[in-house]
Amino acid sequence: MSTKGFTRSVIALSISSLLSYAANAEEDNDITQDEIEHVAVWSTAISTSSLYLKGDDIINKQADHISDLLRTIPGVDVGGAHSLNQRITIRSMDDKDLNISIDGAAQNTYMYHHMGNLQIHADILKSVDIEIGSNSVINGGLGGSVRFETKQARELLKPEQTFGGRVQVSSGDNSGNNYSITGYGLLGESFDFIGYYNFVDRSNYDVGGGQILDADGNELADTDGEVKGLEGELDDLLIKFGWNIGNDQRISVGYESYQDEGNYSYRPDMGLATDLAITNSLQVPLLWPTEFTRDTLTLNYDLSFAQSSQLKVSAFSNTSELWRDEMGWADNEAYTSWAAIVTGEAKNTGVNALATTNFDDNLAGDHELTYGLDYIKHDTEYAAQYIASLDTSAEQSTSLALFLQDKIQLNESFAIIPGVRYQDYEIDSTVVDNNFDDITFALAAEYQATDNLLLKASTTQLFKGPEIGEVFVGAGLFDSANQNIEAETGTNTELAFAYQSSANKTNRLALGATVFKTQIDGYIYDYASSPEGGYWKDNIGDIQITGFEAYIGYTADKLTGQITYSSAESDLDAYADYQDLDQARIDREQGDTFTANINYELSQFNLSLNWEAMQVQDMAAGINLDGATLDNAKDGFTVHNVSANWSPESIEGLTVIFGVDNLFDEYYASQSSRTGTSFHPRFGSLYLLDYEPGRNIKATLSYQF
């Protein structure tokens, strides 16, 4: 066992972030945060508050969808199989309750309730930093935060290299093809650049078992096992320029253009069974010309000052647009008046600043101050050009947050972390035109019980104002006013530990666990029953989410193994006006989830082999917020993925990856996706299952020079 305790930087991460670095690090001692989070390979480094994954573990996944990257992280899931429906959930809370950013640019755009808030292809990502739950005053949000960072030139260049590049080709027999090309380099000593283009030719896929089944387990008529409405093309372009102003300052400018288009299903989050039932009943098209675009411009400034202080400032403009040709309604004369070209646009502009300063006051120990601000303006516009008329609408909101956190290291073993956050939120929407503000506090304590064991307890107050309406169904045009709606508040409380031991440099053990309780007071439900009939947005009660996350990892020479477990249960204490929802659970709640991963390195052949399994338990039927109305029980499933990564010694820079996702061709849907059966007064029973792909044999060939 190591005789040294965790270094101070690792203390900050091991508990507050619970990084299981001991199973992955090259050395046992003197590990810095930069060494943990920097992975100099073409892949995605993921750090979370549940565990830490090496970048070269991630690249083996050949990720076609964000779910390929994140589903095995305890407490995290990604619902939705469609490219337009990458819907991240943390502890059952969906992306509307999370703070999501790409290179500092906010992504929360609530475009359409049938799609997710995030569209990005995994290959462009350098890192993903996930806070499971809201554990400090820095990030805000009810359920946590997800920060995506795209690749940078200087981190891809080899030593003594001035220019470099990479080409990659990927193909899956049940997913489609992917091509990318990248160039990067230095322009003198101070300037650097990267240019990246990625093209995805996406196919419809077959479900596990090769049959589209209905709610009774019978093969659906007029289907052949293929899910229609997925085939399309994705173009992703990234250009970044950086300028190092001396050794202590850096400015970078980035532009990303993302475009996803195809003849897609009308409701990307619902399965083919529902699409066919509605289409056949209404006698309108199954597929609709659709295009989603996102243009993001970022300006980042990094500064080191006063020997022990760092500042990072990001300014951004992020514009997303969803366009759909709905003239197909005119195929049925009864719906000609619905025929239109529909466009929804959501624009986020803002700035965020984050600074840290370390000092010793000689009285209360060492201090690590973290302070900054977040400002976001959110504007939405809707336009539906009908044959004889035009509908338009617009809404907006602004949010300003100031925060200060101090980590006070009282002695070698004990630290306390107080924090305060002020947030001012102004909204101008159909539902409410008001201003909400609050001061929230956080307090955490860390204790290094032994050289190898750290403990943490924390409580963080929560605050979130009412959201503006979803863009693509009217940007508030059809919402009901509710001027008495209130902001959501509450607390997130956690107890956690992290343990590591090392018998030697090749045998390491790491384990950790977190137990949590999240209380959200005045929970806002978008489909609450209105006193005047129909639905409106309102506070329906207080919801409590409780759960547990754990991991254990072990490394023995060339063999690395890891097991994780997570569980989260939600329960609503409804107000008097909404007693029909009392004890309801959040619709995205997932059953107890286990994952296992084994990786073996054959270094003499430059070959690594990986096996990954995920098992999700059944969930019984119950009262459900926004879930299926006839049967909302959720079936469990088990999925296995295998892969091999080979870098031939004779061709430097060449990498060959071969893998099989869903090895045993499981028929399933993520429990964070649409599942179950609902009743509709016109269409009758609708089986909502958002089918996941069946077995997918994938290969990737890349050359980095």
pLDDT tens for residues 71-117? 778 888 888 888 888 888 899 998 889 888 888 888 877 889 898 87
Other beta carbons within 10 Å of 347: 17
Closest CA to 175 of 699, 601, 555, 642: 699
Contact of 52 with 21, CB cutoff 8 Å: yes
pLDDT score at 49: 62
Dist. CA 510–CA 15, nearest whole Å: 12
pLDDT score at 406: 96
**Digit-coded pLDDT (tens) for 256-277:** 999 999 999 999 999 899 999 9
**Digit-coded pLDDT (tens) for 51-77:** 544 444 455 556 655 666 777 788 888
Task: For residues 13-33, give the mean pLDDT.
Answer: 33
pLDDT score at 64: 59
pLDDT score at 6: 37
Distances (CA, A) of 568 to 261, 298, 518, 585: 36, 36, 10, 10
Closest CA to 97 of 541, 518, 535, 591: 518
pLDDT score at 95: 84
The owner of tokens 């990720």 is 63
pLDDT score at 30: 37
Is 61 exposed, middle or buried (CB count within 10 Å of its CB: 0-12, 13-18, 19+)? buried
Residue 362 pLDDT > 70, yes or no? no
Task: For residues 359-372, give the mean pLDDT.
Answer: 84
**Digit-coded pLDDT (tens) for 542-587:** 999 999 999 999 999 899 999 999 999 999 999 999 999 999 999 9
Other beta carbons within 10 Å of 46: 24
pLDDT score at 39: 29
Question: What is the four-CA torsion angle of 77, 14, 128, 421, rounded to 10 degrees?
Answer: 90
pLDDT score at 32: 35
In CATH, 8-704 is 3.40.50.1110: no
Other beta carbons within 10 Å of 640: 16
Contact of 512 with 549, CB cutoff 8 Å: no
Reduced to 3 states, what is the DSSP secondary structure of residue 272?
helix
Dist. CA 499–CA 18, nearest whole Å: 9
pLDDT score at 363: 66
pLDDT score at 55: 45
Residue 163 pLDDT > 90, yes or no? yes
